[in-house]
Amino acid sequence: MGTSSRPIIGLTSYLEQAQTGVWDLPASFLPKIYFEAVTDAGGIAVLLPPQPVDDGIAASIVQGLDGLILTGGKDVDPARYGQEAHPTTDVPRKDRDAFEDALVRAAIEHNVPLLGICRGAQILNVALGGTIIQHLPDVIGSARYSAGGGVFLVNDVAIEPDTTLSALLGGDDTVAVKSYHHQAIDTLADGLIVTGRGDDGVIQAVELPSVDFCVAVQWHPEEDAKEDARLFRGVVEAAARHRDKRSQA
């Protein structure tokens, strides 16, 4: 793929208190590993900071992109799916939740290819009306998906055949993934289908068949460039097709 033909991929980013040099202030940022995965896959990475948004602004943003990646981060506000916060649930980042909710709905409306990662899978499900298990150890009896301290744990995920995810992964029945989450999808939103589960039944991947490309995984593909580069190649290639289709319209 030539440099001039590379599709533009928007990545949502964090808004947190950050330190650099003498400065200690709120800042938008994203770990380099995310946008390196996009550029290595042949895309152009553009970071999207949380900001005030309405449906019109969200539509303008996604229509200026060829693809969208919802990245990991803090827990989605339980109020968005009608629940009180569990003691372990993060203090909500309401600005980011509102921003990404609007982007999800706009991307689906305009058929912009979307890849959700960890929190991204959860915000997709919540935006479409689903709910979240707020603390998995309460349900499965272990912390197998979240060691804390920045340590990723490896878990196997069974992949549903004849799905977009299966095609991206070359038809593999099972994939070993890097996990860092204490929450997961509970009630599945209307329209989504489950495409991957852990051996404990925890939903690990979903997709939206009504659009050309909308895949979301509970794990962190950016942490395993060898295996899960396939997911980044998938969204970049879908973005290139989307861009070409628009140019011919």
- Residues taking part in catalysis: 118, 220, 222
Closest CA to 214 of 206, 226, 223: 206
Q: Which two tokens stand for residue 171?
A: 């038809």
R_g (Cα) of the chain, nearest Å: 17
Q: Which residues pair with 68 in a beta bridge?
A: 10, 114
Cβ density class 87-120: b for 16+ within 10 Å, e for less: eebeebbeebbbbbbbbbbbbbeebbbbbbbbbb
Are 1 and 237 contacting, i.e. CB atoms less than 8 angstroms apart?
no
Distance CA 168, CA 235 (A): 9
